[in-house]
Structure 1
Amino acid sequence: MTDPRVHPTRDDPVVAALSEGVGGPVGDHAGRHPWWTPVRVLLALTAVVMALGLVQKTSCYQDAWQGGDQRYAHMCYSDLPYLYTGRGFAELAWPYSDDTQVRARYEVMEYPVVISYWAYGAAWITHAVTGSPDVTERYGVPVGELAGRDDVARETLVFVVVNVVGFTALALLAVWLLAGVHRRRPWDAAILAASPALALTATINWDLPALVCVAAAAWAWARDRPVLTGVMIGLGTAAKLYPLLLLGALLVICLRERRLPDLLRVTLAAVGSWLLVNAPAYLTGPDQWQHFWTFNSDRGPDLGSAWLVAEQATGDAIAAGTVNLGSWAFLLVWCAGVLAIGLRAPVTPRFAQLGLLVVIGFLLVNKVYSPQYVLWLLPLAALARPRWRDQLVWLSGELLYFAAVWWYLGGYLEPADGGEPGFYWIAITVRVAAELYLAAVVARDVLQPEHDPVWEERQLARRRHPILGG
């Protein structure tokens, strides 16, 4: 029986051209391997890419991230080792503790609760693996000196490894989920599995929990499970705020298909799961729980944002309130545009297409763009536009920015005359242009679905195999 799955060497022009070096596209009568299914190949590829990411961080790992500017020169920076001591995990301090001694020594975690829970759990595992050191002995040591102690330095490396093992499991799960969204197109998940952005940025911060929730939401919606979709969106929002925007994508779909009861189920499940996950943090430390919201509200223009370019180029400080107002105004106008595109489309747009457009709008004017934020877009991009040419165009801008931000922080982009870092501004502009390119291509696919690879394949499948093409 002919394999009903779409093979990338026959579907994607870039992959087809590359395959010429190994015999060309797969033939009509090619057999199936008894063990190496597409999903298993994708999982193996993901494991290799995550391992390459660890190799890229080797120089920083070898000196426990204590090498000064080496972390920028070698582009191997990670927040994980610094927050192990900087947020009290070396003493197993509960992130939402209101204990006066803890708060006098440590800043509150500036991330949503799922990240705090994850980091706290990783700290417990770290202490168990390293022999359960006596944390009370550390209470009298100044926080600035903790990281320099040999025992804490060893724990820091174990803490990083524990997190990376968990991140790898999440990456494998995300790829598995993406491979199952479109049953005939499992190879689309290779855009995430083989992405250099995954290798370079997966261990910078705790962004993978939200990524896997987005992948799970797409998987659940593809299987007509609105409650599970909402739960995943709620959990993702408790890890990073942006998954909340996916409700806007579902609003468009449900309006078009008159599925408002499903939208209600998704929304209630999202709110309920978010409240449930946030409850332990709020009940144990309401002031500490609120820190994430006040921290982001009071934050001014920061790394990677168009606001920072405007501030540095003009020499005029931009107040946080101005950034907040401008960002929300732009996002509302952008979302109105996505709504109009979605309602005018000849056929109902796909969840990933609308989700990608909304999240790109959010990132374009966000007050900060850390290099790992590319992970926010990767799963949606893989599903929304499964074409390697467009993915490579977009990722080229992201990777240029990845390099530029570390060179900027290391001071390597400062002109000899002491002027402004113009190359850093160029890198930000190129990244923004690359995201706009991806958004434009996806918007074109929505308005002209004959350009959408997934829609086109479905039409061909219906003609060739009426039973399989639905």
Structure 2
Amino acid sequence: MSRPTYVPDSAVPAARAMLPLVPVGLFAALGAVLAYAWKAPCRFGGAWNDGTQQFLRFCYTDIYPLWWNEKLDQGMAPYFGHPVEYPVGIGGLMWVIQKLVSGLNEPGVWFFDLTVLVMGLSLVAGVVIMAMLAGVQGRPWDAAWYAIAPAVILTAFINWDLLCGALSLGAFLAWSRRRHVLTGVLLGLAIATKFYPVVFFGPLFLLALRTRRFPAFLWALGGTVVTWVVVNLPIMVLAFDGWKRFYVFSSERGADWGSVWFFFQREQWPFLGDGERLDMLGIASFAVLCLAVAVLTFTAPTRPRLMQLVFLVLAAFMVTNKVWSPQYVLWLVPFAVLARPNWKPLVLWQVAECWYFFAIWLYLVAQQPGNEAFGIGDGAYYTAVWGRVLTIAIMAAFVVRDILRPEHDVIRQGGLDDPAGGVFDQAPDHFVLRVPSAPEPAPRSA
């Protein structure tokens, strides 16, 4: 009789944690297929070439028209031949796919298909990575939210956001495993693809200050800066005017669809609706919310979990931003679930995001002369705008409650501290602000 193979105790939980990765990856592949099928009226029915039908059939995408808008159809290289309104990560991907589809029949359609393939693979990668992050919190199946949430399926292939999402999640997985330079490399790539991951350094800094884990933070920051410079510097040197287009465009654009500032301006609110103050109002309101998160971090009786702070800061950035496109929901889904995996507020938020997805296209239809009867007006559209704000605020309120009263935190109820927090997990406090308690009254003399 052969002797049984010895399996270390530590290997059993690790192997068990790996089991959900295949099914959640398949869920993500299903989500990608469903998202592609949602674009069928445009991809196969020709609705992209009709300014009304692509909205009425809810299959609009930025990817297809940018084949022409960015002069890719003319063989121009991003940044060199034509300034591109996206960071170099997306511009580089555009250039690679442009080379692959040039000379094919209907290259614009092929450009969309190959871009969608990359974004679909990014969704699968992001979901698997999220399952690994959620797995260390004891809840790997939570990643299914990112795989097949309705708002994810509706918005997956509007733009290039899924690629940045996979890089960002990969960075936090590396952080949880205390590979801080790799964290920086992946965050540098993410910021070179979409700029929003720069806000993630806020939560990392706050927790590093509370725990004095500054070496880890500085290694990650250094890796990010070096990676971002390495990726951007060649384009900056060789095609500066094309490279700076994204940053100039971002600073000069006004309040766009979906943002609360768009509502304030269209309704002509005093002060808040002043377009000249837009950048100041956006920065100031975001700064106020970040200050509130910082105060919460240092006054909470128990150190907040990293994913809780990441969610709060990213939600604050989205709500105060002057642009809030439908696909921005992809930014927040994984971190909302990792921060607080409670299905009721998540479902409420998904309903609000889905309503906004349909409302924005119907609203754009109504803006076209003669099509008012096919769309919706300001009132219905603004319910969708504020529905997103309200449901995100509800989720944020629950996260704040969990931070102030950790016994309500689903993750910590299992006896864990901050398993996705890397060096912050089980770290002692070094910088905490405490509100002094009122002294007890002196006993009265007889």
Q: Which TM-score band (shorter chain)?
A: 0.7 to 0.9
CA–CA distance in 1 between the matches of 2:400 and 2:186?
25
- CA displacement, residues 161-216 of structure 1 (integer Å, 9 cap, x when unaligned): 10111111111111111111133321121111121122111110111121112211
Within-5 A mapping of 1:76-87: 76-87=59-70
What's the secondary structure of 1:410's corresponding residue? helix
Q: Which residue of 1 aligns with 2:28?
A: 46
Q: Kindly provide the amino acid, as one letter, of the partner of residue 259 in structure 1.
A: R
Q: Read off the aligned partner of 1:53 and give its amino acid letter.
A: A
Residue 115 of structure 2 is matched in structure 1 by: 163
Instruction: State the 1:235 CA deviation.
Output: 1.4
CA distance in 2 between partners of 1:217 and 1:444 (Å): 27
Match for 1:442 among 399, 405, 420? 399
Paired position in structure 2 for 1:429: 386
Q: 1:271 to 1:412 in 2, by over 3 A?
A: same
**65, 76, 88: which one aligns with 1:113:** 88
Query: Once the 2 structures are TM-superposed, how far is the Cα of residue 406 of structure 1 from its aligned partner?
Result: 0.7
Once residues 21 and 71 of structure 2 are traced to their aligned partners in structure 1, the CA distance between those partners, rounded to angstroms, is 40
Deviations 1:405-460 (A, max 9, x none): 111111189877x9961111111011110111111111111221111111112359
2:363–2:377 contact (8 Å) kept in structure 1? no
**SS of equivalent residue, structure 2 residue 166:** helix
Gaps of 5+ in 1: 7-31, 131-150, 463-468
Question: Is 1:394 equivalent to 2:349 in the alignment?
Answer: yes
The structure 2 residue matched to 1:348, chosen from 303, 308, 323, is 303
Which one of the candidate residues 58, 62, 69 is aligned to 1:75?
58
2:20, 2:141 within 8 Å by CA — same for their partners in 1? yes
Query: Given the alignment, which residue of 285, 290, 312 partners 2:266?
Result: 312
- Take 1:119 and 1:319, find their aligned partners in 2: how far apart are those partners? 36
Aligned length, in residue pairs: 405
Residue 320 of structure 2 corresponds to: 365
8 Å CA contact retained: 1:218, 1:351: no
Residue 438 of structure 1 aligns with an amino acid whose one-letter code is M
Does 2:179 align with 1:179? no
The answer to whether the Cα contact below 8 Å between 1:191 and 1:386 also exists between their aligned partners in 2 is no
When structure 1 is superposed on structure 2, of 176-185 and 333-342 the one drifting more is: 176-185
**3-state SS of the aligned residue for 1:96?**
coil
SS in 2 for 1:76: coil
Mapped to 2, the partners of 1:297 and 1:320 lie a distance apart of: 13
* 1: CA distance, partners of 2:162 / 2:233: 22
Label 1:412 to 1:96 Cα distance change in 2 as closer, same or farther (>3 A): closer
How many angstroms apart in 2 are the aligned matches of 1:179 and 1:209? Answer: 17
Looking at structure 1, the residues matched to 171 and 275 of structure 2 have their Cα atoms a distance apart, in angstroms, of: 33
Aligned with 2:277 (options 287, 310, 322): 322
2:231 to 277, 294, 297: 277
Report the residue type matching 1:60 in the other structure.
Answer: C
User: Do the aligned partners of 2:365 and 2:372 also contact (CA within 8 Å) in 1?
Assistant: no
Shift of the alpha carbon at 1:91? Answer: 2.7
Residue 394 of structure 1 aligns with an amino acid whose one-letter code is W
TM-score in terms of structure 1 length: 0.80
**Would the aligned equivalents of 2:267 and 2:273 in 1 still touch at CA under 8 Å?**
no
User: 1:288 matched to which residue of 2?
Assistant: 242
**Aligned equivalents of 1:300, 1:402: Cα separation in 2:** 21
CA distance, structure 2, for counterparts of residue 262 and residue 456 of structure 1: 27
Give the drift of 1:45: 0.7
Q: Which runs of structure 1 show a deviation greater than 3 angstroms over 4 or more consecutive aligned residues?
A: 3-6, 315-321, 412-416
Worse-superposed segment, 259-268 or 311-320: 311-320
The alpha carbon displacement at 1:92 in A equals 2.9
- Residues 49 and 256 of structure 1, relative CA distance in 2, 3 Å threshold: same
Q: Secondary structure at the match of 2:295?
A: helix
Per-residue deviation, 1:288: 1.3
Distance 1:379 1:214 in 2: 10
Q: Distance in 1 between matches of 2:171 and 2:397?
A: 24
Separation in 1 of the partners of 2:225 and 2:401?
Answer: 32
Q: Percent identity?
A: 34
- Report the Cα distance in structure 2 between the residues aligned to 1:262 and 1:432, rounded to whole angstroms: 34
The two structures, once aligned, show a CA RMSD in angstroms of 2.8
* Structure 2, gaps ≥5 residues long: 1-8, 420-425, 428-446
The answer to whether the 8 Å contact 1:299/1:320 transfers is: no
